[in-house]
Amino acid sequence: MRTLGAACAPYPLCRIVSFESCRQASDKLLYPCNVREQLAKARRMHKGYRLKAGFWESIKSGILNNNTTQVVEPPSTLPEEEEEEPLPQELVLIQKTEPDGTVEEIIFSSGGDIDVYDLQALCDKVGWPRRPLSKLAAALKNSYLVATLHSVRKSPGSEGNDQKKLIGMARATSDHAFNATIWDVLVDPSYQGQGLGKALVEKIIRALLQRDIGNISLFADSQVVEFYQNLGFEPDPEGIKGMFWYPNILNNNTTQVVEPPSTLPEEEEEEPLPQELVLIQKTEPDGTVEEIIFSSGGDIDVYDLQALCDKVGWPRRPLSKLAAALKNSYLVATLHSVRKSPGSEGNDQKKLIGMARATSDHAFNATIWDVLVDPGYQGQGLGKALVEKIIRALLQRDIGNISLFADSQVVEFYQNLGFEPDPEGIKGMFWYPKLYK
């Protein structure tokens, strides 16, 4: 399997594996408003129509072509529109009987029940380099959704001694509100060619939609872009590029930042406490002092964030979902303006002027979302400082696979910060609900 160079990150990029071939500027908005509106409209659309090509019909069309496998379809106990937050479930996708009477079932589960040693063995089979078991366990624990495929073999006269083997997995990170990114889609090479990868991804999409998460993304190798397009994903929609960070950000850094000296060597700061840093300090003619303060402590008022989104022209989103997205982000970084007037001690004026956040599996991958700066404070390098600080915070936590989606107008801006678009042909893709129309 072709992988990205080891110099790109501490661990190779966790990429989408092919199921059928054994592998698979300044301060402008990171995420353009018109596409955000389009994706929001897509979320509303999926609530407004019933799925015409049902999941099980899709399973049959993918698995049964030139195949005599029996598909077992359990009856639904609830109308589809009521399945908003499904419990972890198991579904028998394939059942076949061998000449000696042995029955093999391929079982899909979204309950996240997976043994880390079994996962390591599966990664070995598809040719992925080994990763520390402790980090694999952390990634599984902190994924929003972990879906698995198991082969269960039942031999005649061996009741209670079923042979269960992990043959497929996919997982997703999310902010539990708006965005989800699918990672690590892989299927045992000896079980490829049966449509199991297609079934796995379709089921994850359905589970995310049922939880009202409509901005579903992934990074796909060029060889499987068409596969994902057939599942409703679009590469580079309206010029939005998927980008990965490469470790050259801290080389040519010209941002003027006022930083207190560190009391520990940087390599020891594995899990830094929330911090505040004064980035800019200036005094006005009347003696008023304004400080621009960066914080990674996630201290942000949802109403202040809504007001900031209004200023940059983003459509309003439900406050409850904004709060959920903030709560379930791995890192929330803010910029505040604090104005101190002479003789008004204790009455400082504090205003949110910038924000960015990241979702993560707490182990390998992080995706940066919602980078925005108050238009009245743009042009001072604050967006650059905000992103640089987030990258540094993620690296301090040993997360090296840092990605984002950037509008074509700001791709060069992020390249100057160390991000690369489409590395080795890997495409950032978004899901659109055309699959089920």
- Spatial distance between the Cα atoms of 22 and 84, rounded to a whole number of angstroms: 34
CB atoms within 10 A of CB 348: 12
**Is residue 228 annotated as a catalytic residue, yes or no?**
yes
User: Would you say 59 and 194 are in contact if contact means Cβ atoms under 8 Å apart?
Assistant: no
Catalytic hit among 228, 246, 330, 436: 228
Provide the 8-state DSSP code for 16. Answer: B
Q: Can you read off the two tokens belonging to residue 250?
A: 């801290």
Rounded CA separation 348/344 (Å)? 7
Phi, psi of 371 (to 5 degrees): -85, 120
3-state SS assignment for residue 78: coil
Sequence-separated (6 or more) residues with CB below 8 Å from residue 295: 274, 275, 276, 277, 333, 334, 335, 336
Closest CA to 111 of 90, 91, 134: 90
* E strand intervals along 71-224: 90-97, 103-109, 145-154, 163-174, 179-187, 215-220
Contact 302, 323 (CB under 8 A): yes
Which residues are annotated as catalytic? Answer: 228
